Amino acid sequence: MDKLNDKSLLKQHSYINGKWHSGDAKFDVINPATDEVLTQVTNAGVAEAELAVKAAKDALKAWSGKSANERAVLLRNWFNLLMQHQDDLGRILTLEQGKPLAEAKGEIAYGASFIEWFAEEGKRVYGDTIPAPSSDKRIIVIKQPVGVVASITPWNFPNAMIARKAAAALAAGCTFVGRPATQTPLSALAMAELAERAGIPAGVFNIVIGEDAKGIGKVLTQHPDVAKFTFTGSTNVGKQLIAQGATSVKKVSMELGGNAPFIVFNDADIDAAVEGAVLSKYRNAGQTCVCTNRILVQQRVAKEFTEKFTAAVAKLMTGNGLDDSVFIGPMISSSAVDNVDKLVQDSIKAGAKLELGGARVQVVDGNFYRPTILSQVTNDMPIAANEIFGPVSPIISFETEQDAINIANDTEYGLAAYFYARDIGTIWRVAEGLDYGMVGINEGLISNAAAPFGGVKQSGSGREGSKYGLDDYLEIKYLCMGGLN
Ligand code: SIN
Q: At what angle do helices 68-84 and 86-97 cross, to 10 degrees?
A: 70
If you average pLDDT over residues 371-382, what whole number do you get?
98
Residue 1 has pLDDT above 90, yes or no: no
Is 260-410+416-449 the same fold as 7-257+458-478?
Answer: no
If you average pLDDT over residues 161-187, what whole number do you get?
98
Q: Strand 292-298 and strand 392-398: pairing? A: parallel
SS3 143: strand
* H helices present in 85-181, as ranges: 86-97, 101-121, 160-172
174 labelled catalytic: no
Q: Which ligand 1 atom is at minimum distance from the Cα of 164?
A: 7
Query: Which one, of 253, 258, 234, 295, lies nearest residue 412 by Cα?
Result: 258
Alpha carbons 121 and 361: distance in angstroms, whole number? 46
Question: Mutate which of 103, 156, 256, 466 to test ligand 1's pocket (most atoms within 8 Å of Cβ)?
Answer: 156
Express as a percent the part of the chain with pLDDT over 70. 100
If you average pLDDT over residues 213-232, what whole number do you get?
97
Determine the pLDDT at residue 132.
97
291 labelled catalytic: no
Alpha carbons 418 and 459: distance in angstroms, whole number? 16
Predicted confidence band at 365 (pLDDT cuts at 50, 70, 90)? confident
If you average pLDDT over residues 422-428, what whole number do you get?
98
Q: Which ligand 1 atom is at minimum distance from the Cα of 446?
A: 8
Q: 7-257+458-478: what fold?
A: Aldehyde Dehydrogenase; Chain A, domain 1 (3.40.605)
pLDDT digits (tens, 9 = 90+) for 287-320: 999 999 999 999 999 999 999 999 999 999 999 9
* Residue in 96, 174, 289, 291 annotated catalytic: 289
If you average pLDDT over residues 184-200, what whole number do you get?
98
Predicted confidence band at 2 (pLDDT cuts at 50, 70, 90)? confident
Instruction: Tell me the CA–centroid distance for residue 446 and ligand 1, in Å.
Output: 10
Q: 260-410+416-449: what fold?
A: Aldehyde Dehydrogenase; Chain A, domain 2 (3.40.309)
Determine the pLDDT at residue 415.
98
Determine the pLDDT at residue 461.
96
Residue 363 has pLDDT above 70, yes or no: no
Model confidence, pTM: 0.97
Instruction: Tell me the CA–centroid distance for residue 448 and ligand 1, in Å.
Output: 10
The domain limits of the chain are 7-257+458-478, 260-410+416-449
List all residues whose CB is within 6 A of at least one atom of ligand 1. 156-157, 232, 255, 288-290, 447
If you average pLDDT over residues 59-82, what whole number do you get?
98
Predicted confidence band at 104 (pLDDT cuts at 50, 70, 90)? very high
Q: Which ligand 1 atom is at minimum distance from the Cα of 255?
A: 3
